[in-house]
A and B are shown apart, each in its own frame.
Chain A
Amino acid sequence: MKAFSKVHPFVLMVYFLSVLLVAMFVNNPAVQLTALAGGIAFCAMLTTLKEKVSDLKFYLPLLILISVTNPLFSYNGETPLFFMNGNAVTLEAIIYGVAIGVMIIAVMLWCKGYSYIMTSDKFLFLFGKAVPKLSMVISTALRYIPMLRRQAKGVSRAQRAMGLYTSESYFDKLRFSLRVFSVLVGWSLESAVETGRAMKARGFELKRHSSYSDFRITKSDVTLLLLHIALMCITLTGTAAGAVDFSYYPSISQLTTKPLSIAVYSAFFIISFIPFFIEVEERIKWSCCKSKISVLHTQRPRKKPWTIFHFL
Protein backbone atom coordinates (compact mmCIF):
# COMPACT_ATOMS: atom_id res chain seq x y z
CA MET A 1 0.00 0.00 0.00
CA LYS A 2 2.61 2.54 1.03
CA ALA A 3 5.58 1.86 -1.17
CA PHE A 4 7.32 5.02 -0.08
CA SER A 5 7.55 3.73 3.49
CA LYS A 6 9.79 0.91 2.30
CA VAL A 7 12.52 3.39 1.44
CA HIS A 8 15.41 3.51 3.90
CA PRO A 9 14.71 5.82 6.90
CA PHE A 10 17.82 7.91 6.31
CA VAL A 11 16.75 8.70 2.75
CA LEU A 12 13.25 9.47 3.97
CA MET A 13 14.52 11.82 6.65
CA VAL A 14 16.76 13.73 4.22
CA TYR A 15 13.89 13.88 1.76
CA PHE A 16 11.25 15.18 4.16
CA LEU A 17 13.52 17.68 5.88
CA SER A 18 14.70 19.23 2.63
CA VAL A 19 11.23 19.40 1.11
CA LEU A 20 9.87 21.02 4.25
CA LEU A 21 12.80 23.44 4.30
CA VAL A 22 12.19 24.57 0.72
CA ALA A 23 8.40 24.72 1.17
CA MET A 24 8.80 26.88 4.25
CA PHE A 25 11.53 29.27 3.29
CA VAL A 26 11.43 29.78 -0.46
CA ASN A 27 9.00 32.61 -0.94
CA ASN A 28 7.93 32.06 -4.51
CA PRO A 29 4.39 31.25 -5.64
CA ALA A 30 5.49 28.68 -8.22
CA VAL A 31 7.56 26.79 -5.66
CA GLN A 32 4.85 27.02 -3.03
CA LEU A 33 2.16 25.80 -5.42
CA THR A 34 4.41 22.93 -6.48
CA ALA A 35 4.92 21.98 -2.84
CA LEU A 36 1.16 22.13 -2.28
CA ALA A 37 0.40 20.03 -5.36
CA GLY A 38 3.04 17.49 -4.37
CA GLY A 39 1.66 17.37 -0.82
CA ILE A 40 -1.88 16.88 -2.09
CA ALA A 41 -0.82 14.12 -4.48
CA PHE A 42 1.19 12.42 -1.75
CA CYS A 43 -1.55 12.60 0.89
CA ALA A 44 -4.18 11.51 -1.62
CA MET A 45 -2.25 8.27 -1.98
CA LEU A 46 -2.20 7.68 1.77
CA THR A 47 -5.73 8.46 2.89
CA THR A 48 -9.12 6.94 2.33
CA LEU A 49 -11.95 8.78 0.60
CA LYS A 50 -13.62 9.64 3.91
CA GLU A 51 -10.42 11.13 5.28
CA LYS A 52 -9.96 13.08 2.07
CA VAL A 53 -13.38 14.66 2.42
CA SER A 54 -12.79 15.61 6.04
CA ASP A 55 -9.35 17.01 5.16
CA LEU A 56 -10.89 19.10 2.42
CA LYS A 57 -13.44 20.43 4.88
CA PHE A 58 -10.59 21.51 7.14
CA TYR A 59 -8.00 22.88 4.74
CA LEU A 60 -10.24 24.94 2.46
CA PRO A 61 -11.74 27.07 5.25
CA LEU A 62 -8.26 27.34 6.77
CA LEU A 63 -6.93 28.73 3.49
CA ILE A 64 -9.73 31.28 3.36
CA LEU A 65 -9.24 32.30 6.99
CA ILE A 66 -5.49 32.80 6.58
CA SER A 67 -6.03 34.82 3.40
CA VAL A 68 -8.50 37.05 5.22
CA THR A 69 -6.22 37.51 8.22
CA ASN A 70 -3.25 39.03 6.41
CA PRO A 71 -4.97 42.13 4.98
CA LEU A 72 -6.35 42.88 8.45
CA PHE A 73 -2.84 43.45 9.74
CA SER A 74 -0.85 44.43 6.70
CA TYR A 75 -1.77 47.56 4.78
CA ASN A 76 1.13 47.76 2.38
CA GLY A 77 0.53 47.47 -1.33
CA GLU A 78 -0.11 49.55 -4.40
CA THR A 79 -3.73 48.73 -5.16
CA PRO A 80 -6.05 49.67 -2.31
CA LEU A 81 -9.47 48.05 -2.71
CA PHE A 82 -11.15 49.93 0.12
CA PHE A 83 -10.21 51.54 3.39
CA MET A 84 -11.08 50.13 6.78
CA ASN A 85 -10.73 52.60 9.63
CA GLY A 86 -8.32 54.67 7.60
CA ASN A 87 -6.17 51.67 6.72
CA ALA A 88 -5.95 50.35 3.19
CA VAL A 89 -7.06 46.81 2.44
CA THR A 90 -4.96 46.08 -0.58
CA LEU A 91 -4.99 43.50 -3.32
CA GLU A 92 -1.33 42.71 -2.64
CA ALA A 93 -2.02 41.96 1.02
CA ILE A 94 -4.84 39.57 0.08
CA ILE A 95 -2.69 37.77 -2.48
CA TYR A 96 0.15 37.55 0.01
CA GLY A 97 -2.33 36.09 2.49
CA VAL A 98 -3.31 33.43 -0.04
CA ALA A 99 0.38 32.70 -0.61
CA ILE A 100 0.95 32.29 3.14
CA GLY A 101 -2.10 30.03 3.31
CA VAL A 102 -0.82 27.87 0.47
CA MET A 103 2.57 27.65 2.18
CA ILE A 104 1.11 26.70 5.56
CA ILE A 105 -1.22 24.08 4.08
CA ALA A 106 1.58 22.61 1.98
CA VAL A 107 3.76 22.31 5.07
CA MET A 108 0.88 20.76 7.03
CA LEU A 109 0.24 18.21 4.29
CA TRP A 110 3.91 17.27 4.12
CA CYS A 111 4.00 16.89 7.89
CA LYS A 112 0.94 14.67 7.62
CA GLY A 113 2.73 12.53 5.06
CA TYR A 114 5.81 12.49 7.29
CA SER A 115 3.82 11.20 10.25
CA TYR A 116 2.30 8.47 8.07
CA ILE A 117 5.62 7.32 6.69
CA MET A 118 8.17 8.00 9.42
CA THR A 119 6.92 5.73 12.16
CA SER A 120 8.61 5.81 15.54
CA ASP A 121 10.67 2.68 14.87
CA LYS A 122 12.28 4.45 11.93
CA PHE A 123 12.88 7.54 13.99
CA LEU A 124 14.47 5.50 16.76
CA PHE A 125 16.55 3.59 14.23
CA LEU A 126 17.98 6.87 12.96
CA PHE A 127 18.58 8.70 16.21
CA GLY A 128 18.50 5.93 18.80
CA LYS A 129 22.26 5.46 18.78
CA ALA A 130 23.29 9.09 18.56
CA VAL A 131 20.85 10.70 21.00
CA PRO A 132 19.02 7.82 22.71
CA LYS A 133 17.25 9.79 25.44
CA LEU A 134 16.12 12.68 23.27
CA SER A 135 14.87 10.46 20.46
CA MET A 136 13.01 8.32 23.00
CA VAL A 137 11.37 11.41 24.51
CA ILE A 138 10.47 12.81 21.09
CA SER A 139 8.97 9.60 19.79
CA THR A 140 7.03 9.10 23.04
CA ALA A 141 5.75 12.65 22.93
CA LEU A 142 4.73 12.34 19.28
CA ARG A 143 2.88 9.17 20.10
CA TYR A 144 1.16 10.74 23.08
CA ILE A 145 -1.41 12.97 21.39
CA PRO A 146 -2.97 10.40 19.02
CA MET A 147 -2.90 7.89 21.87
CA LEU A 148 -4.78 10.25 24.18
CA ARG A 149 -7.30 10.97 21.46
CA ARG A 150 -7.93 7.28 20.92
CA GLN A 151 -8.29 6.73 24.64
CA ALA A 152 -10.66 9.71 24.98
CA LYS A 153 -12.87 8.24 22.28
CA GLY A 154 -12.83 4.90 24.04
CA VAL A 155 -13.68 6.39 27.43
CA SER A 156 -16.54 8.47 26.07
CA ARG A 157 -17.96 5.49 24.21
CA ALA A 158 -17.77 3.34 27.30
CA GLN A 159 -19.52 6.02 29.36
CA ARG A 160 -22.23 6.41 26.76
CA ALA A 161 -22.69 2.67 26.60
CA MET A 162 -23.35 2.73 30.33
CA GLY A 163 -26.09 5.28 29.65
CA LEU A 164 -24.34 8.28 31.20
CA TYR A 165 -24.59 11.80 29.85
CA THR A 166 -26.70 11.10 26.82
CA SER A 167 -28.77 14.24 27.30
CA GLU A 168 -28.47 17.10 24.87
CA SER A 169 -28.03 19.92 27.37
CA TYR A 170 -24.79 21.86 27.11
CA PHE A 171 -24.18 21.75 30.83
CA ASP A 172 -24.35 17.96 30.78
CA LYS A 173 -22.04 17.81 27.81
CA LEU A 174 -19.56 20.02 29.62
CA ARG A 175 -19.73 17.86 32.72
CA PHE A 176 -19.32 14.81 30.54
CA SER A 177 -16.19 16.12 28.85
CA LEU A 178 -14.76 17.14 32.22
CA ARG A 179 -15.33 13.62 33.45
CA VAL A 180 -13.67 12.13 30.39
CA PHE A 181 -10.79 14.52 30.90
CA SER A 182 -10.27 13.53 34.52
CA VAL A 183 -10.35 9.85 33.57
CA LEU A 184 -7.80 10.58 30.87
CA VAL A 185 -5.44 12.40 33.21
CA GLY A 186 -5.45 9.52 35.65
CA TRP A 187 -5.01 6.98 32.91
CA SER A 188 -2.16 8.85 31.23
CA LEU A 189 -0.23 9.21 34.50
CA GLU A 190 -0.66 5.54 35.19
CA SER A 191 0.31 4.52 31.69
CA ALA A 192 3.40 6.73 31.80
CA VAL A 193 4.58 4.97 34.96
CA GLU A 194 3.70 1.60 33.50
CA THR A 195 5.52 2.31 30.26
CA GLY A 196 8.60 3.30 32.20
CA ARG A 197 8.50 0.17 34.33
CA ALA A 198 7.88 -2.07 31.36
CA MET A 199 10.82 -0.58 29.53
CA LYS A 200 13.02 -0.99 32.57
CA ALA A 201 11.92 -4.59 32.99
CA ARG A 202 12.86 -5.26 29.39
CA GLY A 203 16.32 -3.88 29.91
CA PHE A 204 16.09 -0.48 28.28
CA GLU A 205 18.55 0.97 30.76
CA LEU A 206 21.19 -1.66 30.08
CA LYS A 207 24.24 -0.20 28.42
CA ARG A 208 24.62 -2.68 25.62
CA HIS A 209 21.08 -3.44 24.67
CA SER A 210 20.36 -3.98 21.04
CA SER A 211 17.21 -3.30 19.15
CA TYR A 212 15.70 -5.01 16.19
CA SER A 213 15.63 -3.17 12.95
CA ASP A 214 15.26 -4.44 9.46
CA PHE A 215 16.43 -1.49 7.44
CA ARG A 216 19.05 -2.24 4.86
CA ILE A 217 20.09 0.32 2.33
CA THR A 218 19.44 -1.00 -1.16
CA LYS A 219 20.53 0.08 -4.58
CA SER A 220 17.27 1.82 -5.29
CA ASP A 221 17.61 3.79 -2.04
CA VAL A 222 21.04 5.01 -3.08
CA THR A 223 19.73 5.97 -6.52
CA LEU A 224 16.84 7.85 -4.98
CA LEU A 225 19.14 9.65 -2.54
CA LEU A 226 21.59 10.67 -5.27
CA LEU A 227 18.78 11.88 -7.52
CA HIS A 228 17.28 13.82 -4.64
CA ILE A 229 20.59 15.42 -3.67
CA ALA A 230 21.31 16.41 -7.26
CA LEU A 231 17.89 18.01 -7.69
CA MET A 232 18.15 19.68 -4.29
CA CYS A 233 21.52 21.17 -5.26
CA ILE A 234 19.91 22.77 -8.31
CA THR A 235 17.07 24.12 -6.18
CA LEU A 236 19.27 25.50 -3.43
CA THR A 237 21.92 27.05 -5.65
CA GLY A 238 19.19 28.64 -7.78
CA THR A 239 17.51 29.99 -4.67
CA ALA A 240 20.79 31.29 -3.27
CA ALA A 241 21.56 32.96 -6.58
CA GLY A 242 18.25 34.78 -6.36
CA ALA A 243 16.70 33.09 -9.39
CA VAL A 244 13.37 32.59 -7.64
CA ASP A 245 13.22 35.85 -5.70
CA PHE A 246 9.71 37.18 -5.48
CA SER A 247 8.14 40.08 -3.66
CA TYR A 248 4.54 40.97 -2.95
CA TYR A 249 5.05 44.49 -1.62
CA PRO A 250 4.64 47.20 -2.77
CA SER A 251 3.58 45.61 -6.03
CA ILE A 252 3.55 41.96 -7.01
CA SER A 253 6.67 41.20 -8.97
CA GLN A 254 6.63 39.10 -12.10
CA LEU A 255 7.51 35.45 -11.99
CA THR A 256 10.99 35.13 -13.43
CA THR A 257 11.40 32.81 -16.41
CA LYS A 258 15.16 32.79 -16.68
CA PRO A 259 16.69 29.39 -17.53
CA LEU A 260 18.01 29.03 -13.96
CA SER A 261 14.64 29.73 -12.37
CA ILE A 262 12.91 27.29 -14.73
CA ALA A 263 15.54 24.72 -13.74
CA VAL A 264 14.69 25.36 -10.08
CA TYR A 265 10.95 25.03 -10.70
CA SER A 266 11.30 21.77 -12.60
CA ALA A 267 13.82 20.32 -10.13
CA PHE A 268 11.53 21.05 -7.22
CA PHE A 269 8.55 19.73 -9.18
CA ILE A 270 10.29 16.38 -9.65
CA ILE A 271 11.34 16.33 -5.98
CA SER A 272 7.89 16.98 -4.63
CA PHE A 273 6.28 14.37 -6.87
CA ILE A 274 8.78 11.57 -6.10
CA PRO A 275 6.55 9.87 -3.46
CA PHE A 276 3.56 10.15 -5.76
CA PHE A 277 5.45 8.54 -8.63
CA ILE A 278 6.69 5.74 -6.40
CA GLU A 279 3.17 5.03 -5.13
CA VAL A 280 1.73 5.07 -8.65
CA GLU A 281 4.43 2.74 -9.90
CA GLU A 282 3.69 0.37 -7.03
CA ARG A 283 -0.02 0.46 -7.74
CA ILE A 284 0.49 -0.35 -11.39
CA LYS A 285 2.70 -3.25 -10.41
CA TRP A 286 0.11 -4.42 -7.91
CA SER A 287 -2.75 -4.25 -10.37
CA CYS A 288 -0.68 -6.25 -12.87
CA CYS A 289 -0.02 -8.89 -10.22
CA LYS A 290 -3.69 -8.90 -9.25
CA SER A 291 -4.84 -9.44 -12.79
CA LYS A 292 -2.40 -12.32 -13.08
CA ILE A 293 -3.76 -13.84 -9.87
CA SER A 294 -7.34 -13.52 -11.01
CA VAL A 295 -6.47 -15.03 -14.37
CA LEU A 296 -4.92 -18.01 -12.59
CA HIS A 297 -7.95 -18.53 -10.41
CA THR A 298 -10.67 -18.10 -12.96
CA GLN A 299 -9.04 -20.14 -15.68
CA ARG A 300 -10.88 -23.41 -16.14
CA PRO A 301 -9.65 -26.32 -18.16
CA ARG A 302 -10.91 -25.79 -21.63
CA LYS A 303 -13.34 -28.36 -22.76
CA LYS A 304 -12.13 -30.19 -25.74
CA PRO A 305 -14.49 -30.17 -28.69
CA TRP A 306 -14.83 -33.87 -28.84
CA THR A 307 -16.32 -34.03 -25.29
CA ILE A 308 -19.43 -32.34 -26.56
CA PHE A 309 -19.69 -34.93 -29.21
CA HIS A 310 -19.13 -37.47 -26.61
CA PHE A 311 -22.20 -36.37 -24.65
CA LEU A 312 -24.26 -36.17 -27.75
Chain B
Amino acid sequence: MKKDILLVFAAVILVAVLLMGTEFQSVEDYYLTHIDDITADSETVTLSIDCTDILNNYDRLTPSLKSEKYIPSDGYILKETTYVLRNGDTAFDILKRAAQYNKIQMEYQGAEENPFGSAYVKGINYIYEFSCGETSGWIYKVNGISPGYGCSRYELKDGDNLEWIFTCSLGSSPEYTEKGGDKQ
Protein backbone atom coordinates (compact mmCIF):
# COMPACT_ATOMS: atom_id res chain seq x y z
CA MET B 1 0.00 0.00 0.00
CA LYS B 2 2.63 2.50 1.10
CA LYS B 3 4.92 1.33 -1.67
CA ASP B 4 2.15 2.02 -4.17
CA ILE B 5 1.69 5.58 -2.91
CA LEU B 6 5.40 6.24 -3.33
CA LEU B 7 5.44 4.69 -6.80
CA VAL B 8 2.48 6.76 -7.96
CA PHE B 9 4.05 9.90 -6.55
CA ALA B 10 7.37 9.19 -8.28
CA ALA B 11 5.59 8.44 -11.54
CA VAL B 12 3.66 11.72 -11.38
CA ILE B 13 6.86 13.69 -10.85
CA LEU B 14 8.59 11.85 -13.67
CA VAL B 15 5.70 12.56 -16.03
CA ALA B 16 5.69 16.21 -14.97
CA VAL B 17 9.42 16.49 -15.69
CA LEU B 18 9.05 14.78 -19.04
CA LEU B 19 6.08 16.91 -20.04
CA MET B 20 7.83 20.09 -19.10
CA GLY B 21 10.80 18.99 -21.18
CA THR B 22 14.27 18.54 -19.94
CA GLU B 23 16.51 21.24 -21.25
CA PHE B 24 19.16 21.97 -18.69
CA GLN B 25 21.33 25.05 -18.70
CA SER B 26 23.99 26.17 -16.32
CA VAL B 27 23.63 29.58 -14.71
CA GLU B 28 26.35 31.09 -16.90
CA ASP B 29 24.76 29.71 -20.07
CA TYR B 30 21.41 31.16 -19.14
CA TYR B 31 22.64 34.66 -18.52
CA LEU B 32 24.95 34.59 -21.53
CA THR B 33 22.61 36.31 -23.94
CA HIS B 34 23.47 38.14 -27.05
CA ILE B 35 22.07 41.60 -27.28
CA ASP B 36 22.16 43.41 -30.60
CA ASP B 37 24.27 46.49 -30.91
CA ILE B 38 22.40 49.65 -31.68
CA THR B 39 23.25 50.94 -35.13
CA ALA B 40 21.93 53.92 -37.01
CA ASP B 41 19.31 51.98 -38.95
CA SER B 42 18.12 49.58 -36.20
CA GLU B 43 14.65 49.89 -34.73
CA THR B 44 14.69 50.52 -31.02
CA VAL B 45 12.39 50.62 -28.00
CA THR B 46 13.01 51.87 -24.49
CA LEU B 47 12.37 49.72 -21.44
CA SER B 48 12.17 50.54 -17.77
CA ILE B 49 11.26 48.31 -14.82
CA ASP B 50 9.66 50.34 -12.12
CA CYS B 51 8.50 49.43 -8.61
CA THR B 52 8.04 52.92 -7.19
CA ASP B 53 4.49 52.04 -6.12
CA ILE B 54 5.98 49.76 -3.44
CA LEU B 55 7.74 52.73 -1.85
CA ASN B 56 4.30 54.33 -1.34
CA ASN B 57 2.91 51.12 0.19
CA TYR B 58 5.98 49.94 2.06
CA ASP B 59 4.04 48.71 5.11
CA ARG B 60 2.13 46.20 3.02
CA LEU B 61 5.29 44.65 1.58
CA THR B 62 6.27 41.09 2.55
CA PRO B 63 8.78 41.47 5.44
CA SER B 64 11.44 39.33 3.78
CA LEU B 65 11.60 41.77 0.85
CA LYS B 66 12.11 44.88 2.95
CA SER B 67 15.68 45.50 1.89
CA GLU B 68 17.63 47.79 -0.41
CA LYS B 69 18.76 44.66 -2.21
CA TYR B 70 15.30 43.94 -3.58
CA ILE B 71 13.63 47.34 -3.61
CA PRO B 72 16.02 49.97 -4.94
CA SER B 73 15.76 53.26 -3.07
CA ASP B 74 14.74 55.15 -6.20
CA GLY B 75 12.20 52.45 -7.14
CA TYR B 76 13.74 51.54 -10.50
CA ILE B 77 15.00 48.00 -10.99
CA LEU B 78 16.00 48.97 -14.52
CA LYS B 79 16.23 52.61 -15.52
CA GLU B 80 15.06 53.60 -18.97
CA THR B 81 17.36 51.88 -21.43
CA THR B 82 17.22 51.56 -25.19
CA TYR B 83 17.13 48.11 -26.75
CA VAL B 84 17.13 46.93 -30.33
CA LEU B 85 13.73 45.77 -31.52
CA ARG B 86 13.94 42.53 -33.44
CA ASN B 87 11.27 41.71 -35.96
CA GLY B 88 8.10 40.51 -34.17
CA ASP B 89 9.31 41.27 -30.67
CA THR B 90 6.57 41.50 -28.07
CA ALA B 91 6.52 43.33 -24.74
CA PHE B 92 7.42 40.04 -23.09
CA ASP B 93 10.36 39.24 -25.39
CA ILE B 94 12.01 42.58 -24.70
CA LEU B 95 11.58 42.18 -20.96
CA LYS B 96 12.95 38.65 -20.98
CA ARG B 97 15.97 39.56 -23.06
CA ALA B 98 16.75 42.61 -20.96
CA ALA B 99 16.31 40.70 -17.69
CA GLN B 100 18.60 37.95 -18.91
CA TYR B 101 21.17 40.44 -20.12
CA ASN B 102 21.15 42.40 -16.86
CA LYS B 103 20.98 39.24 -14.71
CA ILE B 104 17.70 40.26 -13.17
CA GLN B 105 15.77 37.34 -11.68
CA MET B 106 12.44 36.74 -13.37
CA GLU B 107 9.72 34.13 -13.22
CA TYR B 108 6.91 33.77 -15.68
CA GLN B 109 4.23 31.42 -16.80
CA GLY B 110 4.74 30.51 -20.43
CA ALA B 111 2.06 31.23 -23.02
CA GLU B 112 1.34 27.51 -23.50
CA GLU B 113 0.53 26.99 -19.81
CA ASN B 114 -1.64 30.06 -19.52
CA PRO B 115 -5.40 29.81 -20.17
CA PHE B 116 -5.35 33.20 -21.93
CA GLY B 117 -2.66 32.07 -24.34
CA SER B 118 -0.21 34.72 -23.28
CA ALA B 119 2.82 34.70 -21.05
CA TYR B 120 2.24 35.98 -17.53
CA VAL B 121 5.01 37.62 -15.55
CA LYS B 122 4.89 36.36 -11.97
CA GLY B 123 7.88 38.10 -10.52
CA ILE B 124 10.84 40.29 -11.39
CA ASN B 125 13.81 40.76 -9.08
CA TYR B 126 12.17 38.54 -6.39
CA ILE B 127 9.18 40.88 -6.26
CA TYR B 128 6.25 38.60 -7.00
CA GLU B 129 2.57 39.00 -7.57
CA PHE B 130 0.84 39.51 -4.19
CA SER B 131 4.16 40.57 -2.60
CA CYS B 132 2.69 43.91 -1.64
CA GLY B 133 -0.94 43.25 -0.79
CA GLU B 134 -3.50 41.11 -2.52
CA THR B 135 -3.99 43.44 -5.45
CA SER B 136 -0.34 43.77 -6.35
CA GLY B 137 1.37 42.47 -9.45
CA TRP B 138 3.28 43.31 -12.60
CA ILE B 139 1.64 45.23 -15.45
CA TYR B 140 3.07 46.85 -18.51
CA LYS B 141 2.42 50.07 -20.36
CA VAL B 142 3.35 51.08 -23.84
CA ASN B 143 3.76 54.83 -24.32
CA GLY B 144 2.00 55.37 -21.01
CA ILE B 145 -1.08 53.36 -21.92
CA SER B 146 -1.87 49.89 -20.69
CA PRO B 147 -2.92 47.80 -23.69
CA GLY B 148 -5.68 45.27 -23.15
CA TYR B 149 -3.53 42.39 -24.40
CA GLY B 150 -1.36 39.75 -22.82
CA CYS B 151 2.27 40.82 -22.87
CA SER B 152 3.43 38.13 -25.29
CA ARG B 153 0.71 39.09 -27.76
CA TYR B 154 1.49 42.75 -27.98
CA GLU B 155 4.00 43.44 -30.72
CA LEU B 156 6.03 46.58 -30.27
CA LYS B 157 6.77 49.19 -32.90
CA ASP B 158 9.84 51.27 -33.52
CA GLY B 159 10.28 53.98 -30.92
CA ASP B 160 7.80 52.57 -28.42
CA ASN B 161 8.34 53.32 -24.76
CA LEU B 162 7.76 50.11 -22.75
CA GLU B 163 7.37 50.27 -18.98
CA TRP B 164 6.99 47.31 -16.66
CA ILE B 165 5.36 48.55 -13.49
CA PHE B 166 4.70 46.87 -10.18
CA THR B 167 1.33 48.10 -9.00
CA CYS B 168 0.06 47.57 -5.48
CA SER B 169 -3.56 48.25 -6.36
CA LEU B 170 -4.45 46.54 -9.59
CA GLY B 171 -7.98 47.26 -10.76
CA SER B 172 -8.56 50.21 -8.47
CA SER B 173 -5.70 52.41 -9.60
CA PRO B 174 -7.17 55.13 -11.81
CA GLU B 175 -4.23 55.41 -14.20
CA TYR B 176 -4.56 51.74 -15.01
CA THR B 177 -8.28 51.34 -15.62
CA GLU B 178 -9.33 54.55 -17.24
CA LYS B 179 -7.05 54.27 -20.25
CA GLY B 180 -8.52 51.05 -21.54
CA GLY B 181 -6.86 48.46 -19.34
CA ASP B 182 -8.63 45.13 -19.17
CA LYS B 183 -11.39 45.81 -16.71
CA GLN B 184 -12.70 42.65 -15.14
Contact = CB atoms under 8 A, between A and B. Distances in A.
Interface of A: 54, 57-58, 61-62, 65, 68-69, 72, 75-76, 78, 80-88, 149, 245, 247, 249-251, 253
Given A58-B6, A62-B9, A85-B21, A249 B64 contact: yes
Report which residue of B13, B64, B65 has the largest number of chain A beta carbons within 10 angstroms of its beta carbon. B64
B20 A72 contact: yes
Interface stretch (B24-32, B40-48, B49-57, B165-173): B24-32
B126 interface: yes
A68 B13 contact: yes
Interface residues of B, number: 30
B68 interface: no
B26 A82 contact: yes
B181 interface: no
B126 A249 contact: yes
Given A65-B6, A65-B13, A82 B64 contact: no
Contact of B1 (A72, A81, A149, A247): A149
B108 to A, nearest CB: 9
Interface string B1-43: 1110110011001001100111111110110000000000000
12 contacts: A62-B6, A62-B9, A72-B17, A78-B126, A80-B30, A80-B105, A82-B24, A82-B25, A83-B29, A83-B30, A86-B25, A247-B64
A250 B27 contact: no
Nearest to A73: B16
A250 B1 contact: no
B107 interface: yes
Contact of B10 (A65, A86, A245, A249): A65
A307 to B, nearest CB: 64
Contacts of B16: 72
Given A61-B6, A84-B20, A249-B126, 19 more contacts: A54-B2, A57-B2, A58-B3, A62-B6, A65-B9, A78-B105, A80-B27, A82-B26, A84-B24, A84-B25, A85-B20, A86-B30, A149-B1, A247-B62, A249-B64, A250-B64, A250-B65, A250-B126, A251-B64
B123 interface: yes
A150 to B, nearest CB: 12
B130 interface: no
